[in-house]
Structure 1
Amino acid sequence: MSTTGPQPPEPIPGARLLFSLDPGVAQLNHGSYGAVPIGVQRVQQRLRDETEANPMRFFNLGLMDRIVHARRHLAGFLGADPEGTALVPNATAGAAIVLQSLRLGPGDEVLCTDHGYGSVALSIDREVRRTGAVRRTLTVPLHATDEEVVEIVRAGLRPGRTKLLVVDHITSSTARLFPASAITATARERDVPVLVDAAHTPGMLPISVDTIGADFWVGNFHKWGFAPRGTAALVVAPRWRRRIEPLAVSWQQDAGFPLSVEWQGTLDYSAWLAAPVGVFTLRTLGVERVRAHNAQLAAYGQWVVGQALGVAPADLPDPGGPMVSMRLLPLPAGLATTFPDAMTLRQRIAEELGVDVAINAWDDRGWLRLSGQIYNRAEEYQRLADGLPALLARQR
């Protein structure tokens, strides 16, 4: 085993003080639920206080204009057309909106990969049950190159029958960066619409949504963009905007996309209105500085925990890009091979080691996913490395 590997980055001064996280827990799973800076929390709370002080005034005087303003700010950060962008609660909701708007029928198919997010797959399954369409899943090896991924997708497309290709930008289960632009270009050549599930992209990676060329793109701001939970953006290409239908009809239905999707009556809109403060926080810290820090820290964490588990450096999964802030580790064979077992192991690690991580079952094997964020420190990954081997040995 190698004794030298990636080194942790220098901590960003004061970064930990920006968050209200429990200092007794090593929270190495930012990718699942994110963490909201205290300043953003306070802005959201002031918005909630404003709502409760006079609900009639809050909802009836200028709220839609405030939503549009927040949307324009967030769309600008993404390099997306604000008129083709709608704020939605999360990437799964955005995917569901797209699926129900396609008007699938018998014989149609939705194509995805085996790296796709579970709830999106469930949403696809619900829609094909309703319509008589089918879901087809492409197998993509974990270590496939970008060229191999594109070729697998190209070979799997069935022009005329494939009504939607769903592809992740950064996969959740496997922490893998997919070549979204190249995949989209390949599908466009065959006139197959593409939905890019970019749940982890905003804030983690540089992005210009409009240059990707996808028909549909959805990404969360509440993971790596420091926004309150419940903030995501659905971006729709011009030719599809008139066909988009919200999951529930409300008073802006006749306004069309995006207001018909955004306006859902008495929702708590405070997360959306506070989200630009999350982006401001990221920019104040330095977007590239944060991205580089997080990616370097995740790489260090993968290496130090991999050493403890006896995983050779050459066998550590490559995320597919230097700026990915999540890393994957294989667990010993036979552990966490099902979703319930993965959840049980995750909870045991949290309770016994005081460390939060993601555990996923994928391709009949258990995998541990680590994140790197500015509130993390090298010693937290070392804590996991020190305690995990004995904990796993007890599970066999």
Structure 2
Amino acid sequence: MPQAKPPDPIPGARLLFSLDPGVSHLNHGSFGAVPVPVQRAQQRLRDEMDANPMRFFTAGLHERVAHARRHLAAFLRTDSDGTEPEGSALVANATTAASIVLDTLRLKPGDEIVSTDHGYGAVSMAIARSCRESGAVSRVVPVPLVSRDEDVVDAVRAAVTSRTRLVIIDQITSPTARVLPVRALIKALRGTGVAVFVDAAHAPGSVDAVPGADFWVGNLHKWAFAPRGTALLSVAERWRGRIRVPVVSWEDGTGFPGALEGIATTDYTGWLAAPVGLFVLRTLGVAAVRRHNADLAAYGQQVVGAALGLDPGALPEPGGDDPIPMRIVPLPARTCPDYEATVALRQRISDELLAEVAINFWNGRGYLRLSGQVYNRAEEYERLAERLPALLRHM
């Protein structure tokens, strides 16, 4: 593995955020951070709503939501040519979308859902509940942390049987920061009748969307600078008339996507302000931000890994053709023997080192996940690397 170097900061980018300067925010991947211009745009919308709630909710609100959705869908291009924004709907997040998709399938006893052991925890919980209630079966495919794309496709394809109804695959995995071969898997399953759901929670703003899935969802509040609670669910045409809406509201009769987006008196201001996040991203330069963040995450991984005595070659690579803004560092086994220990360690790092990180417990081991974002600097990772070993020794 070549020695990573920190990228040059993007001029002015750090000033766009209102984050506490006394804390190293190295976990953008969990909850994101909303730029000040987006915060202000949302506040103006809230002021408008509170100045005249009747007018806000009854005078063209759903047309405004649809306009915002079309803007976001055109940027993400989740369909084959980017010309079908009516094939997408705004939802709260990827976890919400997973439950919508599972409910839509109307699973029966003996039906099967195939996923990998790199899946997001809340989605795995949704699968488990759906199987308990329907009698369906969950088949989890183990994928080694380091594996070739073709081996991943072969393993998932081999798990598919005549009873498989749905395959769920992450575009970028949350616990392991891996890029999975979504495009190749969609191609491998084409013509089988098995639906493919791509959980692309970390894709918008960091990598391109992958078209061709039956269902694709991406959170815009992580890497696309939208307010939290903003995600786009793209649905293939054959499924749109069958989408099961979890909340029946006055828009129910409009069908997809309006029935999903019409949630009575919810706060729509985040969705309406989301295009401002894309404006900020484009102003900074989409390609420049992606490269900066990926390079910074790689640098942080190497600096922290070296401090823990790990050989650079032992640090997991994300794989795939697109660099991503997250990397993981394996932690000593004694420090994270179980999930509860990872929670405790993350809290101690926050309290004692004034650094926010993600720590995931995956396949019996703890992994520290570092993110890179335009507000981060190399010295934040260096400071964590300097102080983390002593904390781990005292665990």
Q: TM-score, normalised by structure 2?
A: 0.97
1:334 corresponds to 2:334: yes
In the alignment, the residues of structure 2 paired with residue 244 and residue 49 of structure 1 have an alpha-carbon distance, to the nearest angstrom, of 34
In the alignment, the residues of structure 1 paired with residue 208 and residue 287 of structure 2 have an alpha-carbon distance, to the nearest angstrom, of 9
SS in 2 for 1:110: strand
SS in 2 for 1:126: helix
| Amino acid aligned to 2:54 | M
Q: How many residues are aligned here?
A: 389
1:53 to 38, 51, 54: 51
Aligned to 1:223: 222
SS in 1 for 2:7: coil
1:317 corresponds to 2:320: no
Deviations 1:245-269, CA, capped at 9 Å, x for gaps: 1111111111111101110000000
In the alignment, the residues of structure 1 paired with residue 109 and residue 331 of structure 2 have an alpha-carbon distance, to the nearest angstrom, of 41
1:164 corresponds to 2:166: yes
Deviations 1:182-216, CA, capped at 9 Å, x for gaps: 11111224221100000000000123x4xx31000
CA apart distance, 1:65: 0.5
1:146 corresponds to 2:141: no
CA apart distance, 1:5: 1.6
1:84 corresponds to 2:87: yes
1:4-153 superposed matches below 5 A: 5-80=3-78, 81-153=84-156
In the alignment, the residues of structure 2 paired with residue 378 and residue 346 of structure 1 have an alpha-carbon distance, to the nearest angstrom, of 20
Q: Which shifted more, 188-197 or 379-388?
A: 188-197
CA apart distance, 1:39: 0.2
Contact kept? 1:164, 1:194, Cα under 8 Å = yes
CA apart distance, 1:219: 0.5
SS in 2 for 1:334: helix
SS in 1 for 2:290: helix
In the alignment, the residues of structure 1 paired with residue 112 and residue 160 of structure 2 have an alpha-carbon distance, to the nearest angstrom, of 10
CA apart distance, 1:96: 0.6
CA apart distance, 1:315: 0.3
| Amino acid aligned to 1:153 | V
Contact kept? 2:111, 2:136, Cα under 8 Å = yes
In the alignment, the residues of structure 2 paired with residue 246 and residue 310 of structure 1 have an alpha-carbon distance, to the nearest angstrom, of 51
CA apart distance, 1:337: 3.4
Which residues of structure 1 form unaligned runs of 5+? none
Aligned to 1:239: 238
Aligned to 1:195: 197
Q: Percent identity?
A: 61
In the alignment, the residues of structure 1 paired with residue 220 and residue 311 of structure 2 have an alpha-carbon distance, to the nearest angstrom, of 35
CA apart distance, 1:127: 1.1
Q: Which shifted more, 316-325 or 253-262?
A: 316-325
Q: TM-score, normalised by structure 1?
A: 0.97
Contact kept? 2:220, 2:231, Cα under 8 Å = yes
Deviations 1:290-317, CA, capped at 9 Å, x for gaps: 0000000000000000110011011000
Deviations 1:48-72, CA, capped at 9 Å, x for gaps: 1111001000000010000000000
| Amino acid aligned to 1:115 | H
Contact kept? 2:114, 2:156, Cα under 8 Å = no
How large is the Cα RMSD of the aligned pairs?
1.1
Aligned to 2:81: none
Contact kept? 1:91, 1:219, Cα under 8 Å = yes
In the alignment, the residues of structure 2 paired with residue 345 and residue 124 of structure 1 have an alpha-carbon distance, to the nearest angstrom, of 28
Aligned to 1:358: 358
Contact kept? 1:31, 1:224, Cα under 8 Å = yes
